[in-house]
Amino acid sequence: MSRGLVIWLTGLSGAGKSTIAVRLDQELRLLGRTVTVLDGDEVRTHLSKGLGFSKEDRDTNIRRIGHVAGLVAGHGGVAITAAISPYREVRDEVRAAVPGFVEVYVRCSLDELVRRDAKGLYAKALRGEVANFTGVSDPYEEPLHAEVTVDSGEETVEESVERILDCLERLGHIWRGVRPRLRTGAEAGALREQARSLPVLEVGPHETADALMLGTGAFSPLPGFMGAAGYAEVLASGRLPGGHPFPIPVVLRLDEEGAGRARGASRVALRHQGEVVAVVDVEDVYPTDPGREALSVYATDDTAHPGVRLLQASGPWALGGQVTALRRPDTGFPTYDLTPLEVRAAKAERGWATMVGFQTRNPVHRAHEYLQKVALENLDGLLLHPLVGETKSDDIPAATRMACYEELLAGYFPAERVLLATNPAWMRYAGPKEAVFHALIRRNYGCTHFIVGRDHAGIGNYYDTYAAQRIFDEYTPAELGIEILRFEHAFWCRRCGQMASTRTCPHPAADHAVLSGTRVRELLSLGQPLPAEFTRPEIAEILAADARSAHAEGANGQALAADATAPA
């Protein structure tokens, strides 16, 4: 992330703008940002020397500060301004003119300012000895739409700075790493007790999965469900308002009744199947735009697309706000339900500097194994991270897939080079956009690299074969925080006598052992094992056994659809 940013601190003299500016400067430098502080007093001795305190002179002063701050931000830097800037109109003028404008209202009551009054200025002004003194003998126009308001009379400097950094992170201007918002044990109990007095929203499996993943930090830098501004920007640009890549809206959708309950509440409880799973601090309740969202996220408004269908069936409102989860995600595989911080810890324990993530919702056939091993030739570890949240009903059941993964890793990978963990997300089938989403999630789990094959997260013929790889051209690896490994379909070549792809094998397709998805389904529905060139015998046997038992139970043999080669 190297987009510029102007943090505009406004507030009365003595409210603490300069102190906050100094602390913000330190914190942002630690994050590797280049920071310029434009302090009001300093500006008046240089840039605006000779200007007085009439409205006209004050406005000129602010325009000058705004101009310089805009230059700093224009080069990717951070400008922090600390000037009273009492007039709303000129502040808004600067907002419109500079990139990445974030208004911070540093509020402080006049009583508190008079009590502090280090320079004795308020006392003088109140005695009528200072003309044009803002807040006493000159107006101060409070911001109407400040991105964040801090109150230096009510909170410590540390608390104010933390809230400003939180806001910058939520807007996507900065990323401070994975920070869970997850309560467990007695803490969760206490919050659950408090939650009894909160308005309750009944939520489904998707919202629950999203809330719990927000709680573990898997969607970092997002601290909660997106508000109106974030939602609009993500749809428009595939980024958060501050520029951080984020292609998919993470939204708590509500019907009229839910929206009514959430409006006016400062905090709500989310309940799923009788259990309060999370609380949300309500920031805004806003109407969604399903038509626009469908085209942006799914690149189609065809209601045959499962994502579009889901959107059409959802309530027209959304609630934005920070989430605190009351439990960990539970996918039914407790050994493998690791949070991002736990996966990072496991990576550190193994001493891996690099780790490649592999997304799948299918059994790992030899084509996938090949890609993983090609990556492992160069990288330290593999995070096999199957998506076990909700997928299509005709995808292979998660329990069968987990059995396949265990078998494959035990039989064909060095134990110290692999880590199996579940990804509790649900499938959106958003193709390219979801590929980026999957990469960001794996970045949060500690991956340095991520494998993207052809038609990642695709469905039907909605996405061009390479669209999920091309979309990464819109982002730099630095801003994504993860490097993408693009792969072709792989296959067994009889003449090469090994796994290969069109990038490494010169032989015609007739020499390649390729099975269509239809043929895979056919073989499985007949309870026949898949050929060894296609799937390891142990895996083929698990799938065949699963198919036989599904058949015995009268289930549709089609339920064992397996995408032959695509990783996602």
Nearer to Zn ion, 134 or 501 (CB): 501
Query: Of these, 178, 203, 459, 493, which contacts Zn ion (CB under 5 A)?
Result: 493
- Closest distance between Zn ion and the C-beta of residue 490, in Å? 11
388 counts as binding Zn ion under rule CB under 5 A: no
514 counts as binding Zn ion under rule CB under 5 A: no
Backbone φ and ψ for 300, nearest 5 degrees, come out as: -160, 155
Nearer to Zn ion, 498 or 549 (CB): 498
Report yes or no: 240 and 159 within 8 Å, Cβ to Cβ: no
- Closest distance between Zn ion and the C-beta of residue 562, in Å? 24
Give the binding-site size for Zn ion (rule: CB under 5 A). 5
The window from 26-34, 52-60, 89-97, 505-513 that contacts Zn ion (CB under 5 A) reads: 505-513
CB atoms within 10 A of CB 515: 21
499 counts as binding Zn ion under rule CB under 5 A: no
452 counts as binding Zn ion under rule CB under 5 A: no
376 counts as binding Zn ion under rule CB under 5 A: no
Dihedral sign from CA coordinates of 393, 397, 402, 407: negative
How many whole angstroms separate alpha carbon 300 and alpha carbon 437?
Answer: 18
Containing 491, the helix (H) or strand (E) segment is strand 490-493
The amino acid sitting at 254 is: L
Query: Of these, 240, 499, 505, 523, which contacts Zn ion (CB under 5 A)?
Result: 505
The window from 56-64, 362-370, 493-501, 541-549 that contacts Zn ion (CB under 5 A) reads: 493-501
229 counts as binding Zn ion under rule CB under 5 A: no
The window from 51-59, 224-232, 428-436, 494-502 that contacts Zn ion (CB under 5 A) reads: 494-502
Binding mask of the shown chain, residues 192 to 211, with x at each position contacting Zn ion by CB under 5 A: --------------------
How many whole angstroms separate alpha carbon 428 and alpha carbon 38?
Answer: 45
- Closest distance between Zn ion and the C-beta of residue 514, in Å? 12
Nearer to Zn ion, 233 or 488 (CB): 488
507 counts as binding Zn ion under rule CB under 5 A: yes
SS3 12: coil
Nearer to Zn ion, 104 or 490 (CB): 490
User: 32 in the Ramachandran plot: left (φ > 0), alpha (ψ -120 to 50) or beta?
Assistant: left
Query: Parallel, antiparallel, or unpaired: how do β-strands 449-452 and 483-486 relate?
Result: parallel
Q: Which long-range contacts (CB under 8 A, 24 or more apart) does 351-354 make?
A: 351/380, 352/380, 352/381, 353/380, 353/448, 354/379, 354/380, 354/381, 354/448, 354/449
85 is an active site residue: yes
The window from 88-96, 143-151, 366-374, 499-507 that contacts Zn ion (CB under 5 A) reads: 499-507
Report yes or no: 462 and 300 within 8 Å, Cβ to Cβ: yes
Nearer to Zn ion, 471 or 493 (CB): 493
SS3 503: coil
Report yes or no: 531 and 491 within 8 Å, Cβ to Cβ: no
How many whole angstroms separate alpha carbon 513 and alpha carbon 91?
Answer: 66
Report yes or no: 543 and 528 within 8 Å, Cβ to Cβ: no
- Number of C-alpha atoms within 13 angstroms, CB side, residue 10? 30
Nearer to Zn ion, 338 or 367 (CB): 367
Nearer to Zn ion, 265 or 496 (CB): 496
Nearer to Zn ion, 266 or 504 (CB): 504
**Contacting Zn ion within 50-109 (CB under 5 A):** none
Measure the CA angle with vertex 447, ends 469 and 407; round to 5°.
95
490 counts as binding Zn ion under rule CB under 5 A: no
496 counts as binding Zn ion under rule CB under 5 A: yes
Locate 153 and state its tokens: 């009379």
Give strand ranges (E) for 428-472.
449-452
- Closest distance between Zn ion and the C-beta of residue 492, in Å? 9
- Closest distance between Zn ion and the C-beta of residue 369, in Å? 18
Q: Is 121 exposed, middle or buried (0-12, 13-18, 19+ CB in 10 A)?
A: middle
- Closest distance between Zn ion and the C-beta of residue 364, in Å? 22
31 counts as binding Zn ion under rule CB under 5 A: no
- Closest distance between Zn ion and the C-beta of residue 506, in Å? 6
Query: Of these, 55, 115, 292, 495, which contacts Zn ion (CB under 5 A)?
Result: 495
Nearer to Zn ion, 104 or 505 (CB): 505
Q: Is the peptide bond before 241 cis (omega within 30 degrees of 0)?
A: no
- The one catalytic residue in 13, 18, 48, 85 is 85
The window from 42-50, 138-146, 295-303, 488-496 that contacts Zn ion (CB under 5 A) reads: 488-496
The window from 44-52, 87-95, 363-371, 501-509 that contacts Zn ion (CB under 5 A) reads: 501-509
Structure-token match 């990139």, residue found: 99
- Closest distance between Zn ion and the C-beta of residue 454, in Å? 19
Binding mask of the shown chain, residues 407 to 446, with x at each position contacting Zn ion by CB under 5 A: ----------------------------------------
- Closest distance between Zn ion and the C-beta of residue 368, in Å? 19
- Closest distance between Zn ion and the C-beta of residue 495, in Å? 5
392 counts as binding Zn ion under rule CB under 5 A: no
Torsion of CA 175, 176, 178, 181, to 10 degrees: -100
Nearer to Zn ion, 335 or 502 (CB): 502
- Number of C-alpha atoms within 13 angstroms, CB side, residue 213? 30
Q: Is 93 exposed, middle or buried (0-12, 13-18, 19+ CB in 10 A)?
A: middle
The window from 164-172, 454-462, 466-474, 486-494 that contacts Zn ion (CB under 5 A) reads: 486-494
Q: Give the residues lining the site for Zn ion (CB under 5 A).
A: 493, 495-496, 505, 507
Instruction: Kindly list the catalytic residues.
Output: 85
